Structure 1
Amino acid sequence: MKRIIARVWKLIRGPLQWRILWFANATFMIGVTGVVRNEQGQVLLLKHRMWPADRPWGLPTGYAVKSEEFPMTIVREVREETGLEVVPGRLVQVTSGYRLRAEIAYEALHVGGTLKLDGFEILEAKWFDPDALPEGMQESHVQLIKADGTPT
């Protein structure tokens, strides 16, 4: 039976294979987080409206849209949420194990723009020294700040 399946698979190369694979496998959402720093080494944190009240502060995050390169997701998300411009840097972390989601984190450098918050999602944006982060942050975000190679 396996030989028959292998032969049929070879015969249907191309778009049909991809459609079969798409239907047979889970479709994942990709969450992208940015460890955005300014020239002084401070990290950009956002107070998120829709996050739990006891831990509203965190890094800029968002979901990649179809065909978007993951580093550009953080560029888009920071621009949409804050009006600031960033340049993506190195990959900091890739995490899976969630039901239908994978998480990717990049470092990024603030290069300009004027702070203009998306009032629907973001209540406040501030630059913090890595050794003076606000209380109640997600531990995963604290670890990303520490993991990006900048001394804290």
Structure 2
Amino acid sequence: MNKDRGKVWLGVAGVVVNREGKWLVVNKTYGGLKGVWSLPAGFVNVGETADEAVVREIKEETGIDVEVTGLIGLRTGVIRNEISDNMAIFCCKQQDEHQPIIIQEEELFDAKWITLEEIVNEMNVSVMLKEMASQELISHQLSKVEGINPGDVFEYSSYKLFFHR
């Protein structure tokens, strides 16, 4: 968890909504969100795209398999006038509605499905999660486009675009 990430960070978070309209939330055991309900999230690793990272993070933290359906937005800030802290927020679809939540006990106190109303009215929810739920931001996502090659000269091993269609 305490890897040296340099002074420019790229994290990812995933909004997973089930067929009942409930959002998948987690309660972390560490960091600034310790004990607060938030989205499954983590850092992008070397050799993976941001959308691949969010699929991995959701699986690692909750045991839930998802596919990315779009990009909701970007959270960006500077910590102590020094560290550029950036997070891509993706919309994801659960692949198997019957798959149970299996929490990663080293990182989470708990994970559960929660309604938008519960998120908005819950006192112990991250600011970002509460803002997203109150504005129902998942309806304004950017679509994923794959299968494009920007040119062999760039030597991409993976390349995807997210924009309005």
Say if 1:84 and 1:53 are closer, same or farther in 2 by CA, change over 3 A. Answer: closer
Give the CA deviation at 1:144. 2.6
Counterpart of 1:72? 52
Match of 1:148 among 138, 153, 160: 138
SS of 2:111's equivalent in the other structure is: strand
Counterpart of 1:110? 94
Give me the identity figure in percent.
Answer: 22
SS of 2:95's equivalent in the other structure is: strand
Most deviating of 112-121 and 33-42: 112-121
Number of equivalenced pairs: 125
Displacement over 3 Å in runs of 4+:
51-55
Normalising by structure 2, we get a TM-score of: 0.68
Structure ranking higher in helix proportion: 1
Runs (5+) with no aligned partner, structure 1: 1-25
Are 2:42 and 1:58 equivalent residues in the alignment? no
Runs (5+) with no aligned partner, structure 2: 1-5, 141-165
Q: Does the 8 Å CA contact 2:67/2:93 hold for their aligned counterparts?
A: yes
Question: Alpha carbon RMSD of aligned pairs, Å?
Answer: 2.1
Whose radius of gyration is greater, 1 or 2?
1
Which amino acid counterpart does residue 138 of structure 2 have in structure 1?
A: D
